[in-house]
Structure 1
């Protein structure tokens, strides 16, 4: 534990992680609202996608990098002290399969250069949302809470983050469905962190997943487009069944500030 804590400039506290979480949500929400672009129109053009989503991610990524450096939390935010058992990684693997199905079903001919470039920027969401929740918030929660609560709260708060889409033009019912799906996704990303020992793989999977979900609904999806959603649901159920095995025996708690 000494190697993990010796580089910390600020000792982890729960309130710090929650403040970062709230700050991230506020920054993203305000920037997206100022763009004047409704969530439901993001897929209409490259400019809508960039100004309505991509720009907020760029700003948030810069602020998160500055914050993480100031706290000295890069190492505990990105790396586990010890990996969990490996076999639950089946859930993230299933999600990766769903991602590939989405990409294979995408109508790539409907993409122009601007929309493709804006879509690539969306991959940043893997960095920003993972660093916020399963990086900095997780580090803060581990200073006080058991690992079971760390999994649940990081996944739940990650899911609730998506409620802001309802304030940006999306109907409430699909927003609530998105929140539920995001809790499953959060559990999958948590498992990937625990089984690989690094948040980086979760960042990559998360970013590519969001890219694939926007890509597949642009234009006319292929005949197997709906299978990605089905495989994702199976991955989520698998994650809920197996998450206890990556929580069991975890010794990741960092000392809280005095």
Structure 2
């Protein structure tokens, strides 16, 4: 790694990411509630700011030299069974997709949702459970790494209130994001790779926006979201305990010396 991880770097990356997302979205002129209602609103209100953030994150990860610790675990969780919770989340996303009336989407709208899914999975996971997690592991025990990275991921969604979303719904979304972020953390710890969390995150967001815009049947998958959150918080202990918690610290010390 070119730069030794520090906790403050993680907070700086988090703040910088929010500034980029909020600034570009405000410049687009698309309020947050309009995202996912049309192809144009989705391209301008979500895809554009995420594309700018993706470029910034790639530059930061490259300059820091943190790609490997950001994307891969040095030591996977000893307990593999908690992966059943993200599997439920995957099932909920699939249910949402089947509950969507896709006849109400033209090609541009579908492409905008796919771009949104790819970029949101890449950006939010690389930021929260990639770079921020790597920075926190330099000094903090893994329990705090999970909690703080998931809490910052949740708090990030409060910025939606600045973009036109009601404050109460933004607060609710922040709480759900903390819990769903825990599910993505479980994916990383059990599989050993952030890439699977990126894929699940992107699929989940696509399914939520799609079924929210054009539900063909009752979105039963949406009812599973709180269940996934509760179960994630209930089992996360088992993917933290019993492992060498500061997996990235030893190589950093060796490279510096």
TM-score by length of 1: 0.94
- Deviations 1:140-199, CA, capped at 9 Å, x for gaps: 000000000000001000000100111111111111111111011110000110000010
Which of 75, 83, 106 aligns to 2:100? It is: 106
Quote the residue 1:69 is aligned against.
62
> Contact conserved, 2:85 with 2:228, CA < 8 A, in 1?
yes
Match of 1:233 among 217, 226, 235: 226
The structural deviation recorded for 1:71 is 0.7
1:23-38 paired onto structure 2 within 5 Å: 23-38=16-31
After TM superposition, the structure 1 = structure 2 runs for residues 39-188 of structure 1, keeping only pairs within 5 Å, are 39-84=32-77, 85-123=79-117, 124-188=119-183
CA contact (8 A) 2:5 2:138 kept: yes
**Structure 2 alignment gaps of length 5 or more:** none
Cα deviations by residue, 1:59-79 (Å, 9 ceiling, x for unpaired): 111111111011110000001
Q: CA deviation at 1:95?
A: 0.3
State the alpha-carbon separation in 1 of the partners of residues 203 and 151 from structure 2.
Answer: 21
Tell me which of 199, 202, 205 is aligned to 2:197. 202
Q: Is the 8 A contact 1:88 1:245 kept in 2?
A: yes
In terms of mean alpha carbon deviation, does 28-37 or 227-236 score higher? 227-236
Distance in 1 between the 2:38 and 2:209 partners?
12
* TM-score computed with the length of structure 2 as normaliser: 0.94
Do the aligned residues in 2 keep the contact of 1:101 with 1:224 (CA within 8 Å)?
A: no
Q: Distance in 1 between matches of 2:23 and 2:62?
A: 24
Gaps of 5+ in 1: 1-7
Return the alpha-carbon distance in structure 2 between the equivalents of residues 134 and 252 of structure 1: 15
Superposition CA RMSD, Å? 1.2
1:14 paired with 2:7, answer yes
Residue 120 of structure 1 contacts residue 211 of structure 1 at CA under 8 Å; is this kept in 2? Answer: yes
- Shift of residue 222 of structure 1? 2.6
Write the distance in 1 (CA, Å) between the matches of 2:7 and 2:36: 37
8 A contact 1:97–1:231 mirrored in 2: no
